[in-house]
Amino acid sequence: MMLVSKCLSVALISALAAMLLPSAGWTQMKARVAWTSFASNMSGTWVAQEEGLFRKNGLEVELVHIPSTSRAIQVMLAGELHYSYMDGRNSVTAALKGTDVTIIAGVANRLVFSFMARPEIKSFAEMKGRKIGITRLGSSTHSVTLWVMNNAGIKPEEYQMLQLVDVPNIFTAMVAGQVDAGALSPPTNFRARKAGLSELMDVTKDGPEYVSVAIGSTRSFIKANEEMTRRFIRGYSEGVQFLKANKAAGIRAIQKYARIKDPEILEATYGEARAYIETTPYVTRRGMETIIGELLPTEPKAKTAKPEDFLDTRFVAQLEKEGFYKAAAK
């Protein structure tokens, strides 16, 4: 009887252990992943980390905050990162310059920004000769600024751009009168609206199709670590699905990483993330073509480039083929 009891106890413990493990026979792989902004576009990864979805898929992920896509790419090329958020322009530029950087998943195919100005500035007609804050040259804030000003018929030589490292700094500089305008992403654009700044354009709605946020790696790393990349894409995709299906979890993650306390801004930021993060994480062809066209004046190799030259989305395609995204949509 005692032997039977011991056998049952061992069986019960084994069953419980199996339930807690990410998958039978899996060994946890370690991955370093960079997020580059306090914007809501990062929240799929934040949720995947906080809800244990990477671990469920056999990954022990270390999240690293690097407030610059170009810097994150450099760190990744040095072998100190495995995957990183990046904007389309920087990833394409890096590839055109001969690196093996590639996009493995699309996050946002719109420029999720508001172009804001100081309260006394009411239209683009008042923007000539102004100082505009951007994070860095080559960043999404730079791309937004070039696009909106060109759309308004204002040439680059007719305004000044100041590099301020990150989006919250642009808002702070506007309030302090150090710059006159700038492109702000969620949640900073919601803070700016509450502070009474002028919204000259809702670029998310009125701007071009554009790969503003993606996730990338290097082709050499992917070739040597296909199983890790497969697990990462699945864990990330589950994070996006969980974000969209579980408002409380999404808000918790955004509150923690974006450091938002205002309930109204939290609510708006979550809504923006839910609306614009791609559930099936592809980049769009038109969004890539916009970037290639933007680079034509400065990158000679862009003339013969095609969107697929900069992509390795086969892991997303595999999940799609398996019905993973369709099942989640039901």
* Mean pLDDT of the chain, nearest integer: 91
The reply to whether 114-207 shares the fold of 28-110+210-329 is: yes
Is the pTM above the cut of 0.75? yes
Tell me the pLDDT band of 165, cut-offs 50, 70 and 90.
Answer: confident
**Is 105:215 a contact under the CB 8 Å cutoff?**
yes
pLDDT at 26: 64
> What is residue 20's predicted lDDT score, i.e. its pLDDT?
39
Q: What is the CATH number of domain 28-110+210-329?
A: 3.40.190.10
CATH architecture type of domain 114-207: 3-Layer(aba) Sandwich (3.40)
Q: Where are the domains of the chain?
A: 28-110+210-329, 114-207
**Predicted local distance difference test score (pLDDT) of residue 204:** 93
pLDDT of residue 16: 35
Q: What is the DSSP string of 191-253?
A: HHHHTT-EEEEEHHHHS-EEEEEEEEEEHHHHHH-HHHHHHHHHHHHHHHHHHHH-HHHHHHH
